[in-house]
């Protein structure tokens, strides 16, 4: 198990303490404590997954991917939009389950009314309703693919994909002029090639891990692990969450990905989390395990 358990202080008053993890060529900065706050940002793919709180590093990132409507995953969104507006930044794009987009619009309208002294201007945010199976272009060659997540509220997860186009095998080795002629004649000589980078699952029941096989293609999988003690397995299911044993039992479904566990219950202290994870996690998979608190 890697040792990303010590918090990294973020400059600025009133900001939550975060952790930083380096794995598979990516940096993940965030905090995740059940019922308190969850957010994870990745500068390399320029997205923020969920937004229970706001930190300064989020502000330059234009895309926010919300999994569901619980406050610990959503409460920072209005502040993030307001801070970007204060700094004259362009409106961000926020993806959220289709079922909660209108309530989020209402939330922005209420905050706008509270802060505008009677002026009624629309919130500066592009809210995109998403459903399972949908793909949403992000920046450059990046795409967010949406998948269904089983939880206590309408929920989705996201896989970030880098999509490039490569010459089809049957045309490789041909002279450039020949390929140009084929293109001019309307022949599709290239095909899309997807590299699955990061899968973020959010709060979930273990059944999501069973029905989302393509997550194993990702280089990094971020999954909640709310409950850790053996006596809390049934409680995890009752609350719509995952127990560490549910993850361990399904490790073959994670392919070769690095695994980041998040969203631990507040009933566990930091030192308890480290000990409970270390003693239960299989040693042969320790080098791919990371913990974000």
pLDDT, tens digit, 9 for 90 and up, residues 185-229: 888 888 889 999 999 999 999 999 999 999 999 999 999 999 999
Per-residue confidence band for 7, with pLDDT thresholds at 50, 70 and 90: very low
Q: What is the pLDDT of residues 137-176, one digit of tens each?
A: 999 999 999 999 999 999 999 999 999 988 888 888 888 8
Per-residue confidence band for 79, with pLDDT thresholds at 50, 70 and 90: very high
Contact (Cβ atoms closer than 8 angstroms) between residue 117 and residue 146: no
Q: Where are the domains of the chain?
A: 19-281
Contact (Cβ atoms closer than 8 angstroms) between residue 80 and residue 65: no
Its CATH class, for the domain covering 19-281, is alpha beta
Contact (Cβ atoms closer than 8 angstroms) between residue 146 and residue 67: no
- The pLDDT value recorded for residue 4 is 43
Packing angle, helices 77-86 and 101-115, rounded to 10: 50
Q: What is the pLDDT of residues 23-68, one digit of tens each?
A: 999 999 999 999 999 999 999 999 999 999 999 999 999 999 999 9
pTM score of the predicted model: 0.90
Per-residue confidence band for 15, with pLDDT thresholds at 50, 70 and 90: low
- The pLDDT value recorded for residue 1 is 57
Which H, E and C letters describe the chain, residue by residue?
CCCCCCCECCCCCCCCCEEEEEECCEEEEEEEECCCEEEEEECCCCEEECCCCCCHHHCCCCEEECCCCCHHHHCCHHHHHHHHHHCCCCCCEEEEEHHHHHHHHHHHHHHHHHHCCCCCCCCCCEEEEECCCCEEECCCCEEEEEEEECCCCCEEEEEEEEEEEEECHHHCCCCHHHHHHHHHCCCCCEEEEEEEEEEEEECCCCHHHHHCHHHHHCCEEEEECCECCHHHHHHHHHCCCCEHHHHHCCHHHHCCCEEEEECECCCCCHHHHHHHHHHHCCHHHHHHEEECC
């Amino acid at each position: 198990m890697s040792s990303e358990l010590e918090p990294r202080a973020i400059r600025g008053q009133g900001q939550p303490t975060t952790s930083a993890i380096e794995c598979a060529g990516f940096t993940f900065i965030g905090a995740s404590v059940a019922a308190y706050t969850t957010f994870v940002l990745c500068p390399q793919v320029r997205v923020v997954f969920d937004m229970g709180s706001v930190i300064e590093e989020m502000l330059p990132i234009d895309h926010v991917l919300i999994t569901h409507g619980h406050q610990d995953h959503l409460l920072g969104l209005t502040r993030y939009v307001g801070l970007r507006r204060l700094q004259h930044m362009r409106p961000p794009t926020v993806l959220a389950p289709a079922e909660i987009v209108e309530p989020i619009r209402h939330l922005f309208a209420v905050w706008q009314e509270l802060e505008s002294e009677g002026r009624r201007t629309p919130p500066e945010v592009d809210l995109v309703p998403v459903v399972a199976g949908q793909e949403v272009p992000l920046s450059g060659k990046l795409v967010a693919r949406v998948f269904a997540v089983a939880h206590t509220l309408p929920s989705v997860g996201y896989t970030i994909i880098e999509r490039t186009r490569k010459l089809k095998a049957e045309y490789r080795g041909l002279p450039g002029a020949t390929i140009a002629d084929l293109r001019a004649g309307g022949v599709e000589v290239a095909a899309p090639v997807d590299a699955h980078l990061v899968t973020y699952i959010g709060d979930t029941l273990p059944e999501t891990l069973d029905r989302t096989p393509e997550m194993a293609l990702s280089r990094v999988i971020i999954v909640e692990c709310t409950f850790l003690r053996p006596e809390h397995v049934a409680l995890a299911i009752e609350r719509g969450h995952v127990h560490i044993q549910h993850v361990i039992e399904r490790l073959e479904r994670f392919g070769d990905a690095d695994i980041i566990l998040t969203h631990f219950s507040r009933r566990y202290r930091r030192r308890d989390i480290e000990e409970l994870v270390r003693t239960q996690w299989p040693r042969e998979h320790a080098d791919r395990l990371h913990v974000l608190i």
